[in-house]
Chains A and B, each alone.
Chain A
Amino acid sequence: MNLVKSKIGEFGLLGALILLLMVYTLIAPNFMSVNNALNILRSAALVAIVAIPMTFVLISGEIDISAGPLAAFSGVMFALLVSHAGVGFVLAALIVLLIGTLSGTFVGAMRAYLNIPSFVTTLALWGALRGLAIWSSGGHAVFIKDRSLRQTFGGDWLGIPVPIYFAMVVITLFFYIAKYTPFGRSVYSVGGNEASSRLVGINVAKTKILTLAATGFFAALVGMLIDARLSSGNANAAEGFEFDVIAAVVVGGTSLAGGTGKVMGTLIGVLFIAVLSNGLVLLGMNPYLQSVVRGLVILLAVFLNVMVGRKA
C-alpha cells in the first residue's frame, strides 16, 4: 500500500496532467494546437517565474501573498521611470528589480528581527502596493512610447513567447539550488526544523530573507514582462496573480507548514492549473463556474497530496 501511495505521489500530478491533456484534446475545441499550447505556456511562464522562488519561501515556513500587487506596482514604476522620468530601459529595470528585492527583504527582516509573520506583512503589502500603484499611475495606464520594449520582450523569440525563456532559466536555477547547494539545503533545513538549524550554525534569518527577496525580485520581473507585452504599466495588472502562484505551489505538493516541497512539483502544478483553466475557457464554461471548478480541483489536489504524504 505504501508503495502504491508513494508512486501516486510521484506520478500522481503528472499523471493527472497527462490525463487532463488527453481529455481536453478530445472534448475542447482547438485545444491541441500550437497556438493554444503557446498561449498556455506564456501565461504559465509568468506564474512559474514567481511560483518557483515562492516554493522556497513556503518550504522555509513562510509565505508571500503580495506577488500580484508587487508585480503591478513594479510595472507602473517601470513605465513611469521610462516614460516620465526619461530613464533608460536598463537602468529602470535595475531600479525596479531592486524595489522588488527590497520589498521581499523587508518582509524577511520583519519576520527575522521583529517576529512578525510573513503572512501579516505581505497582507499589508498586498493592499499598500496596489494602492501605491493606483496612486502613482493616476488611475490610468502609463504608456511606454518607445516601441522597442514591446518588440524585444513583448513578443516571441524564435517563435516562443519571451517569458518562457525566463521561466526556463528560473526553473533550472532553482532546481539546481534546491538539490546541489548548501543554501538550498538550508532552506529545507530551516523549514523542517528551525531550532535544529539554528543550533548547527545555519543563519536562519539570512535564509528566510533571501528566499523572500528572491520572490520579490522575480515578481518585479514579471511586472516588467507584463509591461512589455502591453507596452504600458497598469495598476490593475496581475489581478489574482498571487493566488495563481500559491495555488500552483500547493497543488505541486509543497506543504504550507513548510519543510517539504519540490521545484519540479511546482512546475507541474503551474502547468496543471494553466491547462485546466485554458481548457475550461475553450469549453466555453461560464467564468464564474470556472473559478468554482478551479477551486475544487485545487482542494482535491491538496487532499490527495496530504493522503499520499501520510505514513502507514
Chain B
Amino acid sequence: MTHEKLVSLNGGTKTYGHVQALRSVDFSLDRGEILAIVGKNGSGKSTLIKILSGVIQPDKGELIVGGETKHFQSPSDALHNGIVTVHQELSVIPSLTVAENIVLGNWPRKKGLTRAIDLGEMQKIARNVLEEIEEAQIDVKALVSSLSLAERQIVEIARALVQRPRILLLDEPFSTLSAHEVEVLSQKIKAIADTGLAVAFVTHRLGEVKDIATSVMVLRDGDLVIKERSDNITVEEVAQHMLGEGVDRPKHEIVRTDRISGDHDPILSLRNFSVPGKLDGIDLDIYPGEIVGIAGLLGAGRSEFLRGLLGLEPASFDQFTLSGKDIKEPDLKDMIKQGVYFVPEERKLEGFVGQFSVMENLELPKFPKLPFLSHLRWGDVRSSAQVIADRMSVKTSDLSEEITNLSGGNQQKVVLGRWIKLGDMKLFLLDEPTRGVDIHARIQIQAVIDDLAKQGVAVLMVASEFEELFDICDRLLLVSHGQPAQSIPIGETSLEAVTAQLLSA
C-alpha cells in the first residue's frame, strides 16, 4: 500500500460512567482523503473528534500520528501534531476584525523590544489564506460582526488553515449553510484535500457524503459499523447502517392531502410586510392547517421575517391581520397570548435555559401565564413535562437532569415541544426546526409538526436544507433580495427548480 496514513486511532475506547461513548473504534486517514463521519446523536462522533483534537483522552486505544505513537494531553498537543479542529459552534469573535480572528492566538509580532502585533503582517497573512480558498472578496479589515453566518464559517476555516494543518477536522461544517453555500464550501474542502491534507468531517446531511467525501464512516452506539469508500455505498445504505433498523427511506412519508379544508379565513394576512434592509414587501395569506416553508438563501431575510412578525425586528406593513384582528405594532407577549408561538434558530443562545433541568425547560412557557406568586406544585410540573417528553420522544433518563446533558436533537425537541401542550396554538413559527439534529430526531419532529397541522395549526417554517421543506410543506414562499416573494404549491415545483430559481435571482 503506497497510501500514507497521516493519523490513526486503533481500538479507541471511552466510557463515561456506565455509558460507552466509544467502543474500540478504529479510525484512520490517508493523505488526500476526505472522510465523512456520520451517525445518530449519541453514536460517538463528538467523542471521536474530541479524542483526535486532544480535548479528552481515550481510556484505551493507540493514537498514531505520522507513524509515531502520541498521547495528547491537551488541544495544543493536537495542534502541535498538525491536527486542527473547527468546531460546530462558531468561535469567531464578532467584535474583532477578520484578520484578527484569523491569526487569533498566533499573532505575528514585530521584532524588537516592544513585540507589538505586526498589523501589516497580520493582514497579509489573512489575505493570503483567503486567497488560497478563493474568498479574497472578504475584507480582512471588516469586523466579523458585519459578516453573514456563512462568511463567519469561512473565517473560522481560514483560521484553521493558517495553522498549516496536516489533518483538518470539521464538526458539522454545513449545518448553518444554504444549499448554494454548501456547494461552495465542498469545493474548497476538495481543494484543501488536494494539497495533501486529510479532512474528516462530521455531518448529519447524508447528501454531502456522496458529493464531497471520498470515504464514509458510520458510527452507531459507540461502535464502528462500517468504513467504506463513498462510491461503493449508497445514501440509503448509509442511513440503514446509521439507524440499524432496516429503514429503507430516511424520509418520512407525510400525508398532506387531508389537511386544508378551504373554507376557513386565513389565520394571518400580510400585505407589503417588510423588514428594512433585510426583507422587501411580502404578501401572504396563511390558512389553518397549512404548512408554509420559507425558502431562500442566507441573508434573504427569512429569520428576520419571522422575528419581524413578533416585533423582535423593526417591521413595516400595509396590513397585518391575525385571526381577523388588525395588528398595529407587533409585540411578542401579545403574540404569545394570541397563540403565535416561536422556535428560534439558535437553541443554545435563545432556546433553552442551560442552568435549568429538562423538566423546567419543557414547562417554561407556562410560568409567565401563572400568577406571580402562585404556588408551584413540582409534582404537577413534572407530570406535565413528562407528557410533552413522551410526545416528543425526548430521550432522557430523568427529567431533572440538566438540559445541557441532552444531545442536540433532544434539546431541539424540548425547545419545540414546550409549546405544543400550552394550548391555543394558532400559528407556529419555526426558524430552522431541525438544524443540527440527527435523522431520527428530525423525523420525529417533522411528525409532530405534521400532527399539529392536522389539528388546524398554521405553520410557517424556515429551513436552509430545502429537502426538509419538501418533506412536510404544502407550499413554499421563495424570498430573495430585491424581489417580491413568490408562493408555489409544493406539487408544482421540485428541489432542483427551487434551488435554481433562488440562485439565479
A interface residues, Cβ below 8 angstroms from B: 177, 179-183, 185-186, 188-189, 191-193, 195-203, 259-260
Q: Complex Cα distance A267/B349, Å? A: 32
**Which stretch from B192-200, B350-358, B448-456 is at the chain A interface?**
B350-358
Q: Answer whether A200 and B354 are a contact pair too, CB < 8 Å, given A180-B375, A181-B372, A183-B372.
A: no
1/0 per residue, CB under 8 A from A, across B9-24: the answer is 0000000000000000
Asked whether, in the complex, the Cβ of A196 is within 8 Å of the Cβ of B351, the reply is yes
> Which residues in chain B, 344-375, are within 8 Å of chain A measured between CB atoms?
344, 349-356, 360, 364-365, 367-375
Complex CA gap A181/B336 in Å reads 21
Chain B residues within an 8 Å CB radius of A199? 332, 342, 344, 350-351
The answer to whether A177 and B368 touch (CB under 8 A), given A197-B353, A201-B336, is no
Are A189 and B369 in contact, with the CB atoms below 8 A? no
Partner of A188, one of B355, B365, B373, B374: B355
Taking a contact as CB atoms under 8 Å apart, the answer to whether B367 and A189 are in contact is yes
Name which residue of chain B comes closest to A203, CB basis.
Answer: B368
The reply to whether A195 and B349 contact each other, CB–CB distance below 8 Å, is yes
Instruction: Indicate if B164 sits at the interface (CB-CB under 8 A).
Output: no
- In the complex, whether B113 has a CB less than 8 A from a CB of chain A is no
Q: Which residues of A contact B354 (CB under 8 A)?
A: 192-193, 259
What are the 6 A-B residue pairs with the smallest beta carbon separation, nearest first? A192-B355, A192-B353, A182-B367, A195-B350, A201-B368, A200-B365
Considering only residues 370-397 of chain B, those with a C-beta below 8 Å from chain A are 370-376, 378
Chain A proximity of B290: nearest CB distance (Å): 24
| B333: Cβ under 8 A from any A Cβ | yes
How near does chain A come to B462, taking the closest CB pair, in angstroms?
Answer: 15
Given contacts A185-B360, A189-B367, A195-B349, contact A260 B355 (CB under 8 A): yes
List the B residue with the shortest CB-CB distance to A59: B355
For window 40-99 of chain B, which residues contact chain A by CB distance below 8 Å?
none
- Does more than half of chain A's interface fall in helix, strand or loop, or is it mixed? helix
B353 contacts A181, CB within 8 Å?
Answer: no
Question: Nearest-CB distance from A206 to chain B (Å)?
Answer: 9
In whole Å, how far is A252's beta carbon from the nearest beta carbon of chain B? 17
Q: A259 vs B355: C-alpha distance in the bound complex, in angstroms? A: 7
| CB < 8 Å neighbour of A196 from B353, B374, B375, B378 | B353
The distance in angstroms between the C-alpha atoms of A169 and B355, with both chains bound, is: 28
Contacts of B360 in A (CB 8 A): 185
Residue of A nearest to B415 (CB): A196
**Whole-angstrom CA separation of A179 from B332 in the bound complex:** 27
Q: Which residues on B sit within 8 Å (CB–CB) of A185?
A: 360, 367, 376
| Alpha-carbon distance A192/B364, docked complex (angstroms) | 12
A-chain residues with CB within 8 Å of residue B367 when the two chains form the complex: 182, 185-186, 189, 200, 202
How distant is the Cα of A22 from the Cα of B353 in the complex, in angstroms? 41
Q: Is the CB of B352 within 8 A of A196?
A: yes
Closest chain-B Cβ to A195's Cβ sits at a distance in Å of 4
**Could you list 21 examples of A-B contacts with CB < 8 Å?**
A180-B376, A181-B375, A182-B372, A182-B376, A183-B373, A188-B356, A192-B354, A193-B350, A195-B350, A196-B350, A196-B353, A197-B364, A198-B332, A199-B344, A200-B336, A200-B367, A200-B368, A201-B332, A202-B364, A203-B333, A259-B354
Closest beta carbon of chain A to B415's beta carbon, Å: 9
